[in-house]
Structure 1
Amino acid sequence: MPTIQPYALIFDMDGVLIDNTPEQAKAFQLLFRDLGLTTNARKLLRRLNGMPATNILKAVFTNPVPEKQLKEYAAQREFLYRVLYWNKRREVAGLTRFLQAARAAGFKIGLGTGSATDTIEYIIDHLDLRRYFDVIVGKDDVDKGKPHGETYTVTARQLGVLPERCVVLEDAILGEQAAYRAGMHCIGVTTNLKATDFQAPLLTIPDFAQLTPQRILELLDQNPKLPKPSLELAKRQYAQL
C-alpha cells in the first residue's frame, strides 16, 4: 500500500509568529522622514506587507533607485526596527502550545519568510522557537520574494511534502497570494488585516489560542479544492501609494 504523505504547516514570520507590524511601520516612517518622503507607512504595509524590504522601498520612489542604495535604506530601516522592537519580542498568543500540538499530531512544520537570516535569528532564537521547525527558508534562499510562490515552494520541497498537502499561515495579502501561487491552502492571521481582506482562506484567526491540529484536518477534508491566485490582488504591489 502507498504511504500517505503527512500534511505540513508553513508559517510566515512577521505578523504570524510575532505581532510586530506596528514597529515595522514606525521604522519605515522614521526612514521616510529622514529621506523627506511623505508616504504613509501603515497604508504602505497594508498593501505590500510580505515583500522583501527592498521591493517595498522600490515602490515608494517615483524615479528608479540603484539596488545598492535600496539595500542601504533597507539596512537603515532594519536597524530602526530592531531598536523599536528590542524589548517587545514575544510570540503571538498560543503559538508554542499550537506548535507542540501540531508536531505531536504528525504535521511537518516549516518557516517561509521574506526576512534575511540575521533577522530570522533575531526573532526565533530569542524566542527559542527554532526547535519546532523542520525547515527554515528565508530571503537568502530564494530568487523571488512574495507574492511569487517560490518561498513556499522551496519550503515544501525541503520538507518533502507535496504543495497540495501544505497549509500556509499568513497575515498579508501578498503572502496569501504566494501560497495560492505555490498550490497551497492558507489560514489568515488577522494581526494586521480584517478577515474580509483575505481572498479565500480556510479560516481566519486572531492568534493561536483556540486553533487545533484537528480543526485544520477537518477544514482540509471539507475544502479539497485549492484556491486560484487572484491577479488583481497580486497586482497590488504596483498600486499607486
Structure 2
Amino acid sequence: MTQTPRAFIFDMDGTIVDNMSFHTKSWIAFLAKRGRSVDPDDFFRDSAGRQGHEIMRSYMGADLSDAETATLDAEKESLYRDLYGPHLEAVAGFESFIETAQEEDVRLAVATAAPPANIVFTLDGLDLRRHFDAVVGAADVARGKPNPDVFLLAAERCGVAPGHCIVFEDAPLGVEAARRAGMRAVVLTTTLPASAFAEFDNVICIARDFTELDIDALFDSSPLIQQAQ
C-alpha cells in the first residue's frame, strides 16, 4: 500500500536558526536611527512572521510606497546579516532530524517571511537548501503570517494535503498561520516560553530543539485538523 504523502514545513528564522534576537536588535537599531523607540518583546510578538514591508509600514508609515519599503527593507536586512553572520548555525539536532525525515519519505519545505537575500544567507550559508523539496519566501506570496498563504503554497509545491503537513514554528503569528492553513504545529521555544502558545489548539508538541523530537510520534500525536475559514 502506498503511504499517504506527508510533509514537514519549517519556518526559518527562529526555527531552523536561533536568530530572532539578532533580527530584533537590527530592527531596534534601524528604528532608533530614525528616532523611534520600541519595546523588544512587544515588537517581536507584533512582527515575527510578518513580511518586511508589512512591518515597515506599521512602524514607518502606512503611506510608504513599494519602492520606499524595498529600500528600507534592504537597509534593515543588511544590518541583520552583518550582526548575525558570525553566529550563523542551525538549531541543535536540525540536520539529523531532517535527514531522518528524508529516510522516512517525509517531504520537506521551508516557509518563511524572509526576503530572498536572507534565504540565500541562511540556507545556502549552511548548505541546507539541498534537503528541501520546496522553499517559499516573502517574494512568493502577497501576505505574511498570520495569513496561511506561505504554508499553503509550500504544501502545494510538496504535493501534500494541508492536513498531512506539520509546521515547525517559534512565533505565535506563525502558529496561527498554520492553524488557518489546517496544519498541526510544533513549537520551538528558541524565542518565547511555552506559555506564549497556550491558546493554540493545533500545537501538538513544544520542544527546546530538534533533539527532543520523534518523527513517528509527531505524526501519531493528533488527528488531522480542518482549515480555518
Query: What TM-score range do you get, normalising by the shorter chain?
Result: over 0.9
Q: CA contact under 8 A between 2:17 and 2:88: conserved in structure 1?
A: yes
**What is the DSSP-based 3-state SS (H/G/I as helix, E as strand, rest coil) of the residue aligned with 2:108?**
strand
- Report the TM-score when normalising by structure 1: 0.88
TM-score by length of 2: 0.92
**Aligned counterpart, 2:219:** 217
Amino acid at match of 1:78: E
User: What is the CA–CA distance in structure 1 between the aligned matches of 2:61 and 2:26, rounded to whole Å?
Assistant: 21
Question: Match of 1:161, SS?
Answer: coil
Amino acid at match of 1:136: V
Cα drift, residue 217 of structure 1? 2.3
Describe the shift of the 1:63–1:54 C-alpha distance in structure 2 as closer, same or farther (beyond 3 A): closer
Q: What residue identity is the alignment partner of 1:207?
A: D
- SS of 1:58's partner is helix
| Cα distance in 2 for residues equivalent to 1:149 and 1:13 | 15
Answering whether residue 163 of structure 2 is matched by residue 161 of structure 1, we say: no
Contact 1:46 1:193 in 2 (8 A): no
Return the match for 2:206 from 204, 207, 218. Answer: 204
Deviation string for 1:142-170 (max 9, x for gaps)? 12221111101111011000010000001
1:16 maps to: 15
How far 1:14 moved relative to its partner? 0.1
Q: Deviations over 1:65-94 (max 9, x none)?
A: 333222222111101101101110000000
Deviation at 1:125, TM superposition (A): 0.8
Q: CA deviation at 1:62?
A: 6.0
Query: How many residues of Structure 1 are paired with residues of Structure 2 in the alignment?
Result: 226
The unaligned stretches of length 5 or more in structure 2 are none
Quote the Cα distance in structure 1 between the aligned partners of 2:106 and 2:73.
35
Question: Structure 1, unaligned stretches of length 5 or more?
Answer: 232-241
Partner Cα distance (1:73, 1:43) in 2: 21
Between the two proteins, what is the percent identity of the paired residues?
32
Q: Which residue of 2 aligns with 1:45?
A: 44
1:86 matched residue in structure 2: 85
Q: How does 1:28-177 map to 2 (within 5 A)?
A: 28-61=27-60, 64-177=63-176
Q: SS in structure 2 opposite 1:187?
A: strand
- Segment drifting more, 95-104 vs 210-219: 210-219
